[in-house]
Chains A and B, each alone.
Chain A
């Protein structure tokens, strides 16, 4: 059975050890994490994890997300397939300046792959490319076959959903409401 790439988005309290809690759940279900990217979200104190993994079907994802969601420090976890998302990765390529010069014009590469050049020194040239996996990979292969790549690094995926609503803010609003109701109850008592 061919596997589908899923993107899991997790919002958590910014606390030590949350990543460990999340990865344990992947490990127990024998799911390999393909990429991982973590950063503070727009809401202070809340961190956002974007994780990609291959899985057989949606059932696996549903169970995974519920288990992540269940952890006390996790606010919310979602899963999506690529169709629902605008997503991006970054790649950096370090090339030997000497080899680049030997190669001749790099205008062709820059135009074809929409490369940005971050650094040129006596020893090396650093390319930056943003795109989907296939795009950064294509550039890597072309460079490897022509100029040679000294170092290569690719970031984890970052993604946002195409739908209009920010799902976390709905959830937080609801929780605030519940908190107020609870406080009301306390006062009544």
Chain B
């Protein structure tokens, strides 16, 4: 599906002459005349020009990057295509990759980052690893030293392929100009098809400078790579039978649903079977938060009811999720009573952490409707009712005091909830990593797909601000709210410069507790309150924002909060809302790492 979307865009983006050339490619060998015509149109171009043309042929109109010695020729080529190819100059290469991730996550398109050799490429590593963990389609183009200097410890040389191979779906070094078009075509196909992921193309400087004949053909097939396994009819039937017989089914929704654009297929499946569901953090916006079958979020800081019920259901239906340890807790005690059905596009996820009864390998957009056809309409009212007392307990012990505190310092959950309400759940919620991230995941209400951008697998602090910038480019018509902590913001705060330069309209909500809150929480719970290196002396964030021309406001009192949020959302342009929250807030519920998923701490608050 992702591929098809891109194809449409690419056709739009192609220049007239290239369109003829590409269409002509398919007819080659059949019509000699057509071939002659095409050859006449084929141009001799520099490697750099080929890179830009190839990107345009793939439908790319935005890229995030940072120039340097080994990519000057590519930036020079971009200079001629400013109208069609927008380059967003970031302030650090990590930001370029995170921005490309944010762009990809909200748009479903491939995010593209362009960085120089050596330090440029190594600065990009964190983002690449993050994209690998969260299956984000990315193409990262890095410059490389001239090919005759490779392996000689040349200036700004790093073994980019060696470093990135284990954290990419594919990494390839181009040393000759003739290989460029081929490599880029393959890169986009690999990044966007099947289970998406990051691809690195490392292009030697001489390949950028030399010239060759340019023609471009999109890759749609590689014999060594089968992105979408074909659905197996008997597995489809087995899955449906198991679900039809289930008295207490529970579905676990992961990001795979979003990546496969299978949200509507999922909804039809869940509604026909009357199956309650809960989401992983990354799966959250695949279904509306307010859906009657929605039982919340799974995992360490997820909701009590679905975690408890994971260990009570009779059939557990995992869809596009990978049973991460933050979701399952101790595997030895996880869902042992249940028959497990696993829908996933990636065979290597099957039986990786949880042994399954039925494996439905394939694209959820194809497999879910096939199973839905065999489903009997069910409602499971008694089973659904079983979740209620658990939810009430969580509400009484945790949620009420977090969202509607009676006095005291401002709470993180309270702020998230107010922003969510003020945007009517229509905004894109981007987060950094830590306590505020879990609070955002727990209390932001989603009504639209592709609305949560967060670093799930790698848990990268510093992700939020640049990813939010990318998200705004990926969805320019939507409000982008970036929730960050005081620790994470300072990891990539230089991207204020990007916001300033490109007038990126993002709303930054800084939940400042002057602590590295999540680590402090662990220190409080598990390290006898020995707060080693988690207290932070912070700058005046509003002044920093002001220096970049970003409007800001600091809120310390509850009475100001609603007005400040209104002001932020009403402001035309970027805005930093710093909210001073309680210093020693806790994220509850919490399943301590490695414990059984039913061993849930609720804290002392009443």
> What is A's interface to B at a CB cutoff of 8 Å?
12-13, 16-17, 20-21, 24, 28, 59, 62-63, 66-67, 69-70, 72-75, 172, 175-176, 178-179, 182, 186-187
Contacts and interface: CB of A to CB of B under 8 A. Distances in A.
A40 to B, nearest CB: 16
A12 B166 CA distance: 17
A176 B223 CA distance: 8
16 contacts: A17-B161, A17-B162, A24-B165, A59-B351, A66-B350, A67-B348, A69-B347, A70-B347, A72-B169, A72-B224, A72-B225, A74-B224, A172-B223, A179-B221, A186-B26, A186-B220
Nearest to B175: A16
Contacts of A66: 347-348, 350
Contact of B165 (A20, A175, A176): A20
Interface string B351-369: 1100000000000000000
B348 A63 contact: yes
Interface of B: 26, 161-162, 165-166, 169-171, 173, 190, 220-226, 346-348, 350-352
A28 B165 CA distance: 13
A28 B166 contact: yes
Nearest to B199: A72
Where chain A touches its partner, the secondary structure class is helix
B348 A70 contact: yes
A17 B173 CA distance: 10
Nearest to B220: A182
B204 to A, nearest CB: 13
A72 to B, nearest CB: 5
Nearest to B169: A72
Contact of B222 (A28, A59, A72): A72
A1 B181 CA distance: 52
Given A63-B348, A66-B347, A72-B169, A13 B224 contact: yes
Contacts of A172: 223
User: Looking at B26, B222, B346, B348, which has the most chain A CB atoms within 10 Å of its CB?
Assistant: B348
A70 B223 contact: no
A66 B220 CA distance: 23
Contacts of A69: 347-348
Contacts of B351: 59, 62-63
B170 A70 contact: no
A139 B26 CA distance: 62
A12 B222 CA distance: 12
The 4 A-B residue pairs with the shortest CB-CB distance in the complex, in nearest-first order: A66-B348, A75-B224, A24-B166, A72-B170
Contacts of A21: 165-166
A53 B169 CA distance: 25
Given A17-B161, A17-B165, A20-B165, A175 B226 contact: yes
Nearest to A45: B223
Contacts of B222: 72
A70 B136 CA distance: 16
A13 B172 CA distance: 13
Nearest to A16: B173
A21 B169 CA distance: 10
Contacts of B223: 75, 172, 175-176, 179
Contacts of A175: 223, 226
Contacts of B161: 17
A143 to B, nearest CB: 40
B424 to A, nearest CB: 40
Nearest to B346: A70
Task: Pick from B171, B173, B222, B224 the residue with the most CB of A within 10 Å.
Answer: B224
B11 to A, nearest CB: 11
Contacts of B221: 178-179, 182
A168 to B, nearest CB: 11
A20 B162 contact: yes
Contacts of B348: 63, 66-67, 69-70
Given A13-B224, A20-B162, A63-B348, 18 more contacts: A17-B161, A17-B162, A17-B171, A20-B165, A21-B166, A24-B166, A63-B352, A67-B348, A69-B347, A72-B170, A73-B224, A172-B223, A175-B223, A176-B223, A178-B221, A179-B221, A182-B220, A182-B221
Contacts of B165: 17, 20-21, 24
Given A28-B166, A179-B223, A72 B190 contact: yes
Contacts of B162: 17, 20
A116 to B, nearest CB: 39
Contacts of A17: 161-162, 165, 171
Nearest to B7: A189
Determine which residue in A59, A175, A186 has the highest number of CB atoms from chain B within 10 A of its CB, and name it: A175
Nearest to B162: A20
Contacts of A67: 348
B168 to A, nearest CB: 10
A74 B190 CA distance: 13
A28 B226 CA distance: 24
A24 B162 CA distance: 10
Contacts of A62: 351
A75 B221 CA distance: 13
A151 to B, nearest CB: 31
A21 B161 CA distance: 10
Contacts of B166: 21, 24, 28
A6 B171 CA distance: 29
A81 to B, nearest CB: 19
A59 B222 CA distance: 29
Contacts of B226: 175, 178
A90 B225 CA distance: 34
Residue of B166, B225, B226, B346 with highest tally of chain A CB at under 10 A: B225
A16 B171 CA distance: 11
Contacts of B350: 66
Contacts of A12: 224
A63 B349 CA distance: 9
Contacts of B26: 186-187
B186 to A, nearest CB: 8
B512 to A, nearest CB: 38
